[in-house]
């Protein structure tokens, strides 16, 4: 199985100001960019915000290649959305929508590229802690998010592998030859991941302490 | 050393296409306390099922398995703190994008402080010479590096027992030797299944599994000889197996 990047950039170790910035601040930047996509109505302002976010990404030292890898998988979808919006609502609105989506993706990538995953998970645990009174387990919540982040590139990789083997047998136009093996591989991956986590004692309820039972 | 006891253990699974449950293991009674224990046998003989019982990944259909007195079904959390498990394919086991993150994941339950967790993860990586590769994608590592990383992630929480399911199957000769040397230097009690008979000869005690039964239990050289004779006989289980030097426990 090959590894694939998908949407958000992988962590790039570094000592930049952005790397050292508190997690809450980086998280607020992501939230603000998400809010901005509703509030910004001028495509030029959206372009300026995107340019600023790209500059911050490059200043962090994560590198242009990582930025391109994070954005590239989204481009076909954005192209389709942009073309449809242009046809329906005109060029300025289409540009604003596409630029705002890109802004959100680059902001989220800035967060993931400058924050180790474990620190992100610690942040998720802190956010989820108030819900413990309702029976939630913050560690399990964080683990679920970590597994989700890990699974997206795996499924993308599984699709690429299956597509190559379908091509090798001249079956690239057969949807069954593409979808079914990806589905089976994904289910097998989910089982393996569950087993690997169980073997390491992860994801088990906190209340089953040693000696219980 | 820890003591793992299996008492009258059987494992059966229901298979859709068969009316009767399939028997994976039957009537296994063992006490495992030696420092290095090997498990050998043909594909599908029940080796992996036997190993998975020890960590609570498989629950016995009958009988019981205990690790230092903790039942693997009722006290599974306590058992998993004592018994680490290394899978054949490290990619099935490594669930985080990079090595450091994966080792840190292992430590999340036991070490709450982020800085301390990171320091301990670095120490675990350094122990296996993997620190410079800690931030690389697990897909960029060689097979040997991945297997060592899987080992580092399991050993980071300092289990007393390490169970390895065919750890050298996917490795080339160089990486196999590296793994062999690493395993030999561990303080943990090792229980390992393998098709590598050289590796099996390093063990203090070797179990031969065939068709869900322990057909030989004894010293490494005698066990390997017994397994070879089984293979030569077309994998027919001799009557009174275990009588030629080992104990059928």
**Using the 8-state DSSP alphabet, how is residue A9 labeled?**
P
- Judging contacts by C-beta atoms under 8 Å, the chain B residues touching residue A144 are none
**Residue B249 forms part of a structural domain:** no
pLDDT at B224 over 50: yes
Looking at residue A133, its pLDDT comes to: 87
Q: Which domain holds residue B81?
A: 4-232
Q: Are B157 and B108 in contact (CB under 8 A)?
A: no
How many domains is chain B partitioned into structurally?
A: 1
Where are the strands (E) in chain B, listed by range? 4-13, 22-32, 36-41, 62-67, 70-71, 83-86, 161-165, 189-193, 205-210, 213-218
Confidence of residue B83 (pLDDT cuts 50, 70, 90): very high
Query: Of the candidates B70, B78, B91, which has its C-beta nearest A1's C-beta?
Result: B91
Distance CA B190, CA B182 (A): 12
pLDDT at B28 over 70: yes
| DSSP H or E segment with residue B24 | strand B22-32
Contact B85/A200, CB-based, under 8 Å? Answer: yes
Looking at residue A8, its pLDDT comes to: 61
**pTM score over 0.80:** no
* A131-169 pLDDT tens trace: 888 888 888 888 888 888 778 778 878 888 888 888 888
> How remote is the C-alpha of A64 from its chain's centroid?
18
- Mean pLDDT for B157-166 is 93
pLDDT at B65 over 90: yes
Collect the ranges in chain A with pLDDT lower than 50: 5-6, 207-213
* Domain range list for chain A: 17-115, 131-199
Query: Of the candidates A147, A199, A202, which has its C-beta nearest B85's C-beta?
Result: A199
**Residue B92 forms part of a structural domain:** yes
Looking at residue A206, its pLDDT comes to: 53
Q: Does A20 touch chain B (CB under 8 A)?
A: no
Interface of B to A at Cβ within 8 Å reads: 55-57, 70-71, 74-78, 80-81, 84-85, 87, 91-98, 100-101, 104-106, 108-109, 114, 117-118, 135, 137-140, 153-154, 157
Looking at residue B246, its pLDDT comes to: 47
Distance CA A28, CA A49 (A): 15
**Residue B165 forms part of a structural domain:** yes
In a mutational test of the B interface, the residue from A146, A191, A196, A204 whose CB has the highest number of chain B CBs within 10 Å is A196
Q: What is the CATH number of the domain that holds B63?
A: 3.40.50.300
* B93-119 pLDDT tens trace: 888 888 998 999 889 888 888 889 999
Looking at residue B66, its pLDDT comes to: 95
- Judging contacts by C-beta atoms under 8 Å, the chain B residues touching residue A146 are 95-96, 105
Q: Are B164 and B186 in contact (CB under 8 A)?
A: no
Kindly report the average pLDDT of chain B as a whole number.
88
Query: Of the candidates B74, B77, B97, which has its C-beta nearest A204's C-beta?
Result: B77
Looking at residue B247, its pLDDT comes to: 45
Confidence of residue B248 (pLDDT cuts 50, 70, 90): very low
Q: Is A87 exposed, middle or buried (0-12, 13-18, 19+ CB in 10 A)?
A: exposed
**Residue B14 forms part of a structural domain:** yes
Looking at residue A66, its pLDDT comes to: 87
């Amino acid at each position: 199985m090959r590894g694939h990047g998908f949407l958000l950039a992988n962590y790039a170790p570094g000592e930049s100001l952005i790397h050292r910035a508190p997690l809450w601040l980086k998280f607020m930047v992501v939230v603000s960019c998400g809010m901005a996509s509703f509030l910004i109505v001028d495509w030029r302002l959206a372009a300026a915000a995107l340019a600023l976010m790209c500059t911050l990404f490059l200043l962090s030292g994560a590198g242009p290649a990582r930025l391109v890898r994070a954005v590239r998988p989204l481009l076909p979808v954005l192209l389709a959305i942009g073309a449809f919006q242009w046809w329906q609502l005109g060029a300025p609105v289409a540009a604003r929508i596409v630029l705002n989506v890109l802004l959100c993706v680059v902001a989220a990538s800035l967060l993931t590229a400058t924050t180790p995953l474990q620190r992100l998970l610690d942040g998720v645990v802190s956010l989820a802690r108030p819900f413990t009174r309702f029976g939630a387990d913050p560690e399990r919540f964080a683990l679920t998010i970590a597994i989700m982040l890990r699974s997206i590139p795996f499924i993308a990789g599984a699709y690429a592998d299956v597509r190559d083997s379908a091509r090798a047998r001249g079956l690239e136009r057969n949807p069954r030859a593409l979808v079914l093996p990806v589905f089976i591989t994904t289910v097998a991956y989910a089982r393996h991941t569950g087993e690997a986590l169980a073997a390491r004692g992860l994801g088990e309820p906190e209340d089953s302490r040693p000696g219980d039972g | 050393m820890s003591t793992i006891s299996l008492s009258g253990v059987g494992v059966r699974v229901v298979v859709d296409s068969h009316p009767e449950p399939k028997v994976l293991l039957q009537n296994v009674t063992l006490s495992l306390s030696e420092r290095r224990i090997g498990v050998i046998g043909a594909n599908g003989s029940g080796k992996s099922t036997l190993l998975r019982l020890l960590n609570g990944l498989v629950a016995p259909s009958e009988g019981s398995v205990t690790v230092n007195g903790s039942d693997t079904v009722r006290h599974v959390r306590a058992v998993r703190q004592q018994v680490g498990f290394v899978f054949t394919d490290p990619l099935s086991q490594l669930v985080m994008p990079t090595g450091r993150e994966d080792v840190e994941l292992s430590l999340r339950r036991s070490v709450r402080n982020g800085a301390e967790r990171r320091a301990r993860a670095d120490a675990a990586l350094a122990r296996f010479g993997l620190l410079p590769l800690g931030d690389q994608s697990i897909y960029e590592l060689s097979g040997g590096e991945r297997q060592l990383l899987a080992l580092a992630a399991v050993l980071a929480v300092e289990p007393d027992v390490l169970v390895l399911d065919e750890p050298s199957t996917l490795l080339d000769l160089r990486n196999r030797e590296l793994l062999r040397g690493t395993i030999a230097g561990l303080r943990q009690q090792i229980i390992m299944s393998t098709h590598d008979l050289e590796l099996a000869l390093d063990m203090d005690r070797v179990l031969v599994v065939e068709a869900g039964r322990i057909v030989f239990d004894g010293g490494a050289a005698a066990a390997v000889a017994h397994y070879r004779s089984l293979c030569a006989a077309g994998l027919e289980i001799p009557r009174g197996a275990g009588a030629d030097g080992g104990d059928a426990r």
